[in-house]
Chains A and B, each alone.
Chain A
């Protein structure tokens, strides 16, 4: 376990040292935050809706703040090139569990991505004037559930992203079909808009998939869209999904390594 923690720490330390990239990232998130909110504000001003604008605005800011953590499409070039050029040979000659190694590595990258960005975004968004303001959490319990579900979400999204990565063994291409899956995952996770804004049938699909626990669940717990009781049962579901995803990840790893061809002489 110590080994995998070290790998996580190494990745975290390496990635956290890019200061300019963090600042650029924060500015990007603000840009997107404002664009999305402006669209919703225009939408609300032009007609009367029974939806709660505060909840959506808060949702958008949280999504922007934790984007680096819950972004499904994050791709690790080291992993991709390792498969493509055959350097995986060295990887397999070491007594390391392949799944655990890359899971910790990807997790390190995600945590590094979010660590430098989320606090400034949240603090500034809370100081913004209405209607752009990020509201305080509705209840302490709701906030606590938000934190718990965000932590589970971070593991879940790492597991799902790992599965997308391992599929490269079968396709030998990191774009194409894998990109399509990733985009679908991104949409069904609530990474673009909250799932409750989806039309009926799409919502049914979205709620049946594991992606909803990545963005939709934690942020809606914060905004109070889900009640505490709903939250607890949904978090339980997300834990079950996490276990399933880890099992699938391990099975796919086994299949991939069984059929893997080390590219190059």
Chain B
């Protein structure tokens, strides 16, 4: 059995729905309509110890819902989760001792007091002994570069500083699994870099299994060797980043800037053509047509004043994936 074993996981939410306005509000008071939303349907995957897995998908795909079920705070409607031979929801109290969670959009630190005081409270909550606590705390503080930061009231910290404190807080008890739900949301480049390096470091040092969701594909590219793509609640892709690139990374976006008009033409390998204000945009498959022959071909008909080739950018890849799966 794998370290994390998820089988046919599903979760449906019932949401009250009404139009805006007073009339609709009154109407919904008498006759309330509910819509069922399949947040997660029939998702299965296995994750081994020490892996870093990127869990990606567009907004509302069911990422956070899955994370919440994996953390044991949300009850799955059907399907099973087994993490380290435990069922997260049923054995919540025992299970959560061994996990660390960071929700990028929420805070677990007490707003009015320094982060260090929250750390002290966490020490009591997790029953960490004094020596071990000091050791872990000092190490985390050093790695995340928050030595002075943790002495300041949390409300006076910048988002980047606070997020690093949040991450430290979730690792004080040395969990074997770390869930990061959008840990770099709203951070600047430097803070992102610090957070990323730190995650890689603890993964190497302590073999911590990391599951992270992010909309920043650079995070995923820097951290995760394995990607699970989810859209509209279903799993669409599970594999390494290279697999993903091999499968979908053969397309390039070529933007040609020109004043001339281009006749319609049919050429193998040109997947998509759009006219823009200043020229044309093509998506070409480089397995079928090389960039140089494509440019040569177009150059015969129009005067190319500028050209831009979008390289193997993972953002494009994801957009293409989303298009491919129609999500």
Contacts and interface: CB of A to CB of B under 8 A. Distances in A.
A and B held together in a complex: yes
Interface of A: 2-3, 6, 10, 86-90, 92-97, 258-262, 264-265
Contact of A265 (B64, B96, B99): B64
Interface string B103-144: 101111000000000000110111100000000000000000
Given A3-B125, A90-B107, 15 more contacts: A3-B127, A6-B124, A86-B106, A87-B106, A89-B101, A93-B73, A93-B96, A94-B126, A95-B96, A262-B68, A262-B73, A264-B105, A265-B59, A265-B64, A265-B105
Given A3-B124, A261-B13, A92 B72 contact: yes
A2 B124 CA distance: 8
A94 B96 contact: yes
B74 interface: yes
A89 B96 CA distance: 12
B199 to A, nearest CB: 18
B205 interface: no
Interface string B56-90: 00010000100010011111000000000000000
Contacts of B108: 90
Contacts of A89: 68, 71, 73, 101, 103, 106
Contacts of A92: 71-73, 92, 96
Contacts, number: 58
Contacts of A97: 93
Given A2-B124, A95-B126, A90 B103 contact: yes
B267 interface: no
B101 A93 contact: yes
Nearest to B166: A90
Contacts of B73: 88-89, 92-93, 262
A262 B71 CA distance: 12
A260 B68 CA distance: 12
B96 A258 contact: no
B64 A258 contact: no
Given A94-B96, A96-B125, A258 B75 contact: yes
A95 B97 contact: yes
Closest A-B pairs by Cβ, 7 of them:
A92-B73, A90-B108, A93-B101, A95-B97, A95-B96, A95-B93, A265-B64
Given A6-B124, A95-B126, A97-B93, A90 B75 contact: no
Count chain A CB atoms within 10 A of each CB in B59, B68, B72, B106 and give the residue with the most.
Answer: B106
B94 interface: yes
A24 to B, nearest CB: 22
A262 B125 contact: no
A174 to B, nearest CB: 18
Interface string B13-51: 100000000000000000000000000000000000000
Interface-central residue, A92, A96, A264, by most chain B CB under 10 Å? A92
Contacts of A87: 106-107
A97 B99 CA distance: 16
B20 to A, nearest CB: 19
A2 B121 CA distance: 11
A90 B101 contact: yes
A160 B137 CA distance: 39
Nearest to B169: A90
Contacts of A95: 93-94, 96-97, 125-126
Nearest to A87: B106
A96 B108 CA distance: 14
Contacts of B126: 94-95
Contacts of A258: 75
A227 to B, nearest CB: 46
6 contacts: A3-B125, A89-B68, A90-B107, A94-B126, A262-B68, A262-B74
Contacts of B103: 89-90
A6 B127 CA distance: 13
A38 to B, nearest CB: 42
A89 B99 CA distance: 13
B124 to A, nearest CB: 5
Contacts of A2: 124
